[in-house]
Structures are given as C-alpha cells and as structure tokens.
Amino acid sequence: MTDGRAIGVFDSGLGGLTVVRELIKQMPNEDIVYFGDTGRVPYGTRSRETIKKYAAEDERFLLSHGVKLIIAACGTVSSVAADSARALPVPFFEMVTHAALSAVSATKNGKIGVIGTPATVSSGSHKREILKLMPKAEVTAASCPLFVPLVEEGWCSEDDIVVTETVRRYLAPVIEAGCDTLILGCTHYPVLERAISRVAGDGVRLINPGVAVSKAVADYIETAGLQNSGENKGKHKFYVSDKPDSFKSLASVLLGEELDDGRVEQVDLNDL
Ligand code: DGL
C-alpha cells in the first residue's frame, strides 16, 4: 500500500521549519504542507484557551488540504493543546512525548533540563512525561521568552554577545542544577543550538525534539505502508497567515534552503 497524501505540519510561525528540516532529511519522498500562523505568533505567551482555539483552526486548515497525518511542530501547542487534537480524523504527532523519551535515554545522572516558552514551562508537560518514564528524574525547567524574538530577528550566532548573554541568564538554573541533558522545548530553539551549547558546555547533551518526532513519523509511515511513491514526489508547500516576506527571508536559516515566491502563500483562515 502507498499513500500520496502530504504530511501536514503546523506551528505558530517559523519555528516548525526546524522540524520540517528533519522530516525532509528522514523522508525525502514525502510531500509536506506547512502552515505557519505568522499573523498570530507568538502563542507561547497566550492563555491556554486561546492556544487551543488557534491550534484547532490550524489543524482544520491542514485537514482541508487532505493530509494523511498532522504534526504540531510547536512546543507550546504540544504542551497545551495535544489532548484535544487526539480526536482528529488523522494520526496526530506532538513534540513533548518524543522529547521526553530521547532525554530519558540520553541522561546519565537523571538530571534533565527543559527550556521553552512561558506557556510550555507553566504547563509542566515535559516534567510529567519524563517522570512517567523515569520517576526518580530531577527536572529543572526555565522559560526563555526572549529566544523567540531573537530568532525571528535573525540574531542566532554563538559569536553575538547579545545572544550568548541572554542564553547565559536563562540557562543559569539548569546549569546550577547540574543537568547533563537539556530539552530544547520550543521549535525555534534548535537555531540557537550552538549558542546554547557554548554556554551549557560539552557535558550537556541537547535534545532537539524535531529529530525524535521525525523518526517516529518515519517509523509510523513505514509500518502502516503509507509511503508516497507517486510521480513527482517530495513537494513542499508553505502557507502563512501574514505577508510571506520575513518568513521567506528567515526560512533559509531554519530550513536550510531558500523558498521562492511560488512555494510560500499567504492565506486567511477565515476563508475556510
Ligand atoms: N513555536 C513556538 C513553540 O515551539 C514558539 C513561538 C511561539 O511562542 O509561538 O513553542
């Protein structure tokens, strides 16, 4: 059996492109439809109710494109709105459980750090999942609200003093707690991986949830026999809810490839 439908991916904005990058690496033949809610980013500072409402609208948009599964490539949605998404008519993948699994397999001292948006950290989602897998784990979570604007501004270099000082201040509790493993619990953060690693030091293993979720999706597609084996496969189309200019210009940093005009389109979710 094969399945030519696309994989649906959504995020509050650009961050989910770090997940798309991993998906393309692991499944170059799969078509991908991406929705970035750039008109309403950030989600991470909003209320639970608003995040759930936005996530449901994003999922409805992807379903209107006939996708075969949906990935919430957003740490905030995965932390706050994953339960309601389980009622979707297609399989749903989120970032938290996969990140927790990877962190638990990586840690040697049982001390795991989590960084994410304020909504992600206050949900306690990673801690809950980690403790299910490793009840004696010590989890230290820190919210890093300035990381998303830094990335959206394109300030990501480990040689940029503003970046490294911001990272240093946010990571202090994680370093103080002696964590040997750190979950990058927001999809924007892998872009800051080098700066985070420089501050955290070589002894701290960084977990990019996009890698683990892409592996889980690849395994699911293979086991269920849903690979895309059609003609002209591996197409990637990107939709955004605000003007595409900054999305396109930052895509090369997050996705690792340039996006030309034909591949990014602005849509209005109210038109559905
Ligand atoms: N993509 C979001 C996340 O992974 C971060 C940006 C936002 O706050 O919406 O949590």
pLDDT 10s digits, 37-92: 999 999 999 999 999 999 999 999 999 999 999 999 999 999 999 988 878 999 99
Atom of ligand 1 nearest to the CA of 45: 8
Question: 234: part of which helix (H) or strand (E)?
Answer: none
The backbone torsions φ and ψ at residue 72, rounded to the nearest 5 degrees and listed phi first, read -85, 95
pLDDT digits (tens, 9 = 90+) for 160-212: 999 999 999 999 999 999 999 999 999 999 999 999 999 999 999 999 999 99
Cα–Cα distance for residue pair 19/81, rounded to 1 Å = 18
32 has pLDDT over 90: yes
pLDDT for res 259: 87
Q: Which residues pair with 32 in a beta bridge?
A: 7, 236
Would you say the C-alpha torsion 257, 262, 267, 271 has a positive or negative sign?
negative
Question: Does 119 sit in the ligand 1 pocket, CB within 6 Å?
Answer: no
Q: How far is the CA of 89 from the centre of ligand 1 (A)?
A: 25
Evaluate if residue 30 carries a pLDDT over 80.
Answer: yes
Atom of ligand 1 nearest to the CA of 37: 9
pLDDT value of residue 75: 97
Residues identified as active-site: 74, 186
pLDDT of residue 229 exceeding 90: no
Q: Which domains are present in the chain?
A: 7-94+211-271 (3.40.50.1860), 96-209 (3.40.50.1860)
Instruction: Find out whether the beta carbon of 42 lies less than 6 Å from any atom of ligand 1.
Output: yes
Q: Are 72 and 82 in contact (CB under 8 A)?
A: yes
**pLDDT(241) > 80:** yes
Indicate whether residue 74 lines ligand 1 (CB < 6 A): yes
pLDDT in tens, 133-149: 999 999 999 999 999 99
pLDDT at res. 270:
85
